[in-house]
Structure 1
Amino acid sequence: EIEAKYTKKMQVLRDELDLRRKTEIHEVEERKNDQISELMRNHEKAFGDIKNYYNDITLKNLALISLLKEQMEEMKKRENHLEKEKADVLLQNKQLKEPLQQAREQVSELQKKLAHYDKDKEALTNTKARLKVTQKELKDLQWEHEVLEQRFGKVQAERDELYHKFTKAINEVQQKTGFKNLLLERKLKGLLDVLEKKEVELSEVFAASNL
């Protein structure tokens, strides 16, 4: 009878220990699942934040590049227009040089003949007037040519600056893209390392529970 009581008591004790062990294992599994869920949520949030930041940077830089392209196109149009104006002025300048030289030669010739031919006086006056007009036209064209040269140089400088900005923007986009990808890889690796560490800890807990 004593042995039966002892056996029954031992059985009850075994049942209690078994129930306690199962309860502890269940609690460990729940904690493991909660930790895994938390890690996954943190991972998804971190990934979403990095993705949104990367997309925002990319869109801003693409907009900047598009604007710089438009400005460069406009500079090219202005440069071509000034090139044409410059060519026209040079052509007019060249065309006026010959009449000016001819007028000067006529003045010189008429001055020589003035002492002998009074009738050439009127022709000389007219020639001088034409010379004066031609000189003024040449002076105006030379001034206009100088202004166009200055404008042309300014446009070239603006074009070079825009090209520099455009190249710099491209390099910044490439550098930022590579940097953000590297940060994402490091963060993902960190999260995976944490998850692996937690799994090792849980495995150790299971091993200890089985013992």
Structure 2
Amino acid sequence: MSKAPALKLQGICKSFHQGHKALHVLKGIDLEVKQGELVALIGASGSGKSTLLQVAGLLDRPTSGTIAIAGAEVHDLKDEARSDIRRNRLGFVYQFHHLLPDFTALENVELALRISGVSSVDATAQAKAVLEEIGLAERLNHTPSELSGGEQQRVAIARAIVTNPSLLLADEPTGNLDEETAARVFKLLVSMVRDRGLAAVIATHDASLAAQMDRQLHLSAGVLHES
């Protein structure tokens, strides 16, 4: 029997109201991402990429449509159940790292595991192993202000994958970095996702980065097209 898709969106619409007017950002989005598949989401600024990722990641609710993660429909779940899925089955990387400024790199990554119920000893060991894998063995006890932009984003990647999610969602994960650093960080992200067999949807405006993915989808005027 074939495995259920890591992510399946059907008829996803999302509208926002501005006074008496409705702004239709997503217009009937259908998307299926297979387990282990890497999908690039391309679109101009303001095209709705972030909104689509927020809906897919259960950070926002669609106006209409259905969402299934690993075969389980999740769009109608209550807030506590949605939070549980985000903690244990989803990983997120954003353009800005959103690291806790007073925590070290190790502590920032540990925290993701502790929130998921992992013991302190195991969380430390697992976080350290991922940070070493990502090339930050010498930076474990540095706070974000003591790290370069590329190092900060690598910590954010480690935090996203340390819980072994089934699906990674990344919103312009290298958009705040210079071109050379962005290329290195993106290559590392793709490598670590592939090594773990994760599915991923990664929004980027960079065609050369998108070309490293299995598929490229273009979001324009609220409609999703295969590139």
TM-score, normalised on structure 1?
Answer: 0.19
Q: Computing the radius of gyration over CA atoms, which structure comes out larger, 1 or 2?
A: 1
Between structures 1 and 2, the one with greater helix share = 1
Q: Which has the higher strand share?
A: 2
TM-score normalised per structure 2: 0.18
Q: Which has the higher contact order (CA 8 A, sep 6+)?
A: 1
